[in-house]
Structure 1
Amino acid sequence: MKSTEILFFERPFPSANSMIIRDDQSFLVDTGFGSDIVRTEQLLTSAGILPAQLNGIINTHYHSDHVGGNHYFQQQYEIPVAAHLWEGEMVNQCDLESCGAHFLDQPVEQYTVQQLLVDEQQIMTGQSAFQVLHTPGHTLGHIALYEPKQEILICGDLFHYNDVGWLNIFREGTNSIRRSIESLDRLATLSIKKAYPGHGPAIDEPSIMIDKARERLEKWIESPEKMAWHACKRIFSFTLMIKNGLKSREITPYLLSCSWFYDFAVHSFRLKPEEFVQPLLDEMIRSKAAVWHQDILIATAPYEAPNQKWIEEDWKPRNWTK
């Protein structure tokens, strides 16, 4: 009897990793950033799967780097999307908080969720039944997928190799750290041989990475500013990637226009937003998250810059239609 196959694609920013569950029914887990849709299709076809042959898309959560290709696949191939109930309902209602798009200033083309998932639901693929595990923390509707026969976990952004997903206490709740720890504790009870995260390489020793992630989160409880710095650097780095850098004169007005920057400056660092610009820039350079290239601040992590159309468009929930 054949076993279910997991095809894992580690992708450069701004896309998250994508996975194909190949079985009697095949599913694409996370569709990447919207500007990378051509590459996403190539990943499918290189695996011998035509997009029209997919039985569905499953999203671990609703951030732009994970759901950006949903619109295209729905428009072109009418592929249904499955996501956690809480986030799926927000998307379907065109809630302004959907995908964190406005808060983060990240474009997401409109899509709809056909299957609203709940904790411990099973997704049948033929030879396997993937268990939906509600793992809130990074987002309130974050899920992981667990296949017990092969002991495989698709963990999204709950934890990565030697890292964790950034935490958004201003949109996902001040208890995000505790929720993340509880989610990790739940996964720690499972027998997992291999984990596939939303960013970075596949993980061959998941239990070790779960323990490391938990240790890091516990340190953040003691020093909340570390959590805030982690989030600010991740968000701003992603901005630099999708904009392919910012000129020095653009940085201050841009940051002062962002909700995330205001909230972290005022509530996490007790500074006026204009007072937080230079400390953030200093930390980006000190930590080597970004470098100056002549007069342009560039993210250092490998990325593929979106085309000009994606830089100029404003695909966000306020422009979606019911």
Structure 2
Amino acid sequence: MSQTELTVIERGWLSSNNIVIDDGAGGAVVVDTGYSTHAQQTLALLQQTLQGRPLTKIINTHLHSDHCGGNALLAQHFAAPVLIPPGQFEAARVWNEELLSYRRTGQTCDRFQPDQMLEPGSTLRLGRGLWHVLAAPGHDPDSVLLFESNHGTLISADALWERGFGIVFPELDGDSGFAEVEATLNLIASLPVSRVIPGHGGAFSDVKTALSEARRRLQNFRNDPIRHARYAAKALVKFHLIEVREQRLADLQSWLAGTDIHTRLWSRYFSQMPIQQWTLQVLDELRSGGALTLEGTLVRDAVASSP
């Protein structure tokens, strides 16, 4: 698939990558739209990429806040329909923030209206490419992959990065997730993939090495679920700090104590210590890893690829 047919707008950790695909009719579609506080930036980047062409569809691989936060603005600006996986279609239609995870994670997402379901097992004809929609549970139960077999291009979202995969959210609530991650990795391994476009980080072609690293990481988490819980806690705090940039320690501790996913993590895995002690331990591990700085009572985000 040529550069003119597909463009990857590589973002960071707060906003997912945006993938722009020629629709074959003079317009283009975008896969995933970043975080809500970056929506204006996402719009500007898309306009620069589109060069006056219309945006004809907005597609989401899943509905985590870093992948669909620009939906509302882009749908309004371009009058483009929004296609999402079916598992959370009704929750998005009525905007149930509990079911959509935004409230429990302390994250934001501007309300948007879904228009069509992106059904696993279906295909999308975009330009000269036929994209297969494949179920990819694990990181998120309702996530999908998009695979174009003629060129071996896989849009993997957070199911596979060059060095791992996203938090396995079902496991944090005691539900099955690791087995689903394994099944999704096996699915990817069964496909003739030549290029992977992940949700975060650059595109890559060494799929074998990436799968090996993902399987090693998965086995480590299976062997020690507390390790996964600790990773999740640090990743979620880091995400928050990327968004706010800096916060007084007392305010950050209050935010953590009032955010459902953090209190659940503490209660399920770390309740042998007081929650404030656990919070300080998480922050200290992030500081030691260079992901934040603590200057007096002020916590600041620091440049780090991931927690």
Q: Do the two structures share a fold, i.e. TM-score over 0.5?
A: yes
Corresponding residue for 1:286?
288
Q: How far off its partner does 1:288 sit?
A: 2.3
Q: How far off its partner does 1:89 sit?
A: 2.3
Q: Deviations over 1:48-72 (max 9, x none)?
A: 3447x11101111111111011011
Q: How far apart are the structure 2 equivalents of 1:124 and 1:134?
A: 18
Unaligned runs of 5+ in 2: none
Q: Residues 292, 24 of structure 1: CA spacing in aligned structure 2 closer, same or farther, 3 A cutoff? A: same
Comparing 269-278 and 135-144, the one that deviates more: 269-278
Q: How far apart are the structure 2 equivalents of 1:2 and 1:17?
A: 18
Does residue 16 of the first structure (1) align with residue 16 of the second (2)? yes
Corresponding residue for 2:206?
205
**1:215-294 equivalent positions in 2, closer than 5 A:** 215-271=216-272, 272-294=274-296
Structure 1 residue ranges, 4+ long, deviating more than 4 angstroms after superposition: 1-4, 170-173
Is the contact made by 1:13 and 1:302 (CA closer than 8 Å) also made in structure 2? no
Equivalent residue of 1:19, what SS?
Answer: strand
Equivalent residue of 2:221, what SS?
Answer: helix
Letter in 2 for 1:287: G
Q: How far off its partner does 1:45 sit?
A: 2.5
Equivalent residue of 1:164, what SS?
Answer: coil
Q: How far apart are the structure 1 equivalents of 2:271 and 2:223?
A: 18
Corresponding residue for 2:159?
158
Letter in 2 for 1:156: A
RMSD (Å), alpha carbons: 2.1
Q: How far apart are the structure 1 equivalents of 2:128 and 2:50?
A: 19
Q: Deviations over 1:70-99 (max 9, x none)?
A: 011122222111111002222113223343
Q: Residues 22, 132 of structure 1: CA spacing in aligned structure 2 closer, same or farther, 3 A cutoff? A: same
Q: How far off its partner does 1:210 sit?
A: 1.6
Is the contact made by 1:289 and 1:299 (CA closer than 8 Å) also made in structure 2? yes
Q: Deviations over 1:11-41 (max 9, x none)?
A: 1342111110113152101111122222212
Q: How far off its partner does 1:194 sit?
A: 0.6
Q: How far off its partner does 1:171 sit?
A: 6.9
Q: How far apart are the structure 1 equivalents of 2:289 and 2:30?
A: 34
Q: Residues 76, 267 of structure 1: CA spacing in aligned structure 2 closer, same or farther, 3 A cutoff? A: same
Corresponding residue for 1:44?
46
Q: How far apart are the structure 2 equivalents of 1:72 and 1:113?
A: 13
Q: How far apart are the structure 2 equivalents of 1:101 and 1:93?
A: 14
Q: How far apart are the structure 1 equivalents of 2:2 and 2:227?
A: 46
Comparing 227-236 and 88-97, the one that deviates more: 88-97
Q: Deviations over 1:153-178 (max 9, x none)?
A: 00001121212101223677621111
Q: How far off its partner does 1:4 sit?
A: 7.3
Give aligned-pair identity as a percent.
25
Task: Choose which of 34, 37, 44 in structure 2 pairs with 1:35.
Answer: 37
Higher relative contact order (CA 8 A, sep 6+): 1
Q: Residues 230, 171 of structure 1: CA spacing in aligned structure 2 closer, same or farther, 3 A cutoff? A: closer
Corresponding residue for 1:143?
144
Q: Deviations over 1:87-132 (max 9, x none)?
A: 2222113223343101111111111211112212101113111000
Q: How far apart are the structure 2 equivalents of 1:170 and 1:87?
A: 19
TM-score, length of structure 2 as denominator length = 0.91
Q: Deviations over 1:261-287 (max 9, x none)?
A: 111111022334234222212221222
Q: Residues 301, 174 of structure 1: CA spacing in aligned structure 2 closer, same or farther, 3 A cutoff? A: farther
Equivalent residue of 1:165, what SS?
Answer: coil
Q: Residues 164, 46 of structure 1: CA spacing in aligned structure 2 closer, same or farther, 3 A cutoff? A: same
Is the contact made by 1:32 and 1:64 (CA closer than 8 Å) also made in structure 2? yes
Q: Residues 48, 178 of structure 1: CA spacing in aligned structure 2 closer, same or farther, 3 A cutoff? A: same
Is the contact made by 1:261 and 1:273 (CA closer than 8 Å) also made in structure 2? no
Is the contact made by 2:245 and 2:300 (CA closer than 8 Å) also made in structure 1? yes
Q: Residues 182, 208 of structure 1: CA spacing in aligned structure 2 closer, same or farther, 3 A cutoff? A: same
Q: How far off its partner does 1:43 sit?
A: 2.0
Q: Residues 73, 230 of structure 1: CA spacing in aligned structure 2 closer, same or farther, 3 A cutoff? A: same
Q: How many residue pairs were aligned?
A: 302
Q: Residues 92, 2 of structure 1: CA spacing in aligned structure 2 closer, same or farther, 3 A cutoff? A: same
Q: How far off its partner does 1:208 sit?
A: 1.6
Q: Deviations over 1:173-205 (max 9, x none)?
A: 621111111111111101111100111111121
Q: Residues 68, 167 of structure 1: CA spacing in aligned structure 2 closer, same or farther, 3 A cutoff? A: same
Q: Residues 172, 82 of structure 1: CA spacing in aligned structure 2 closer, same or farther, 3 A cutoff? A: farther
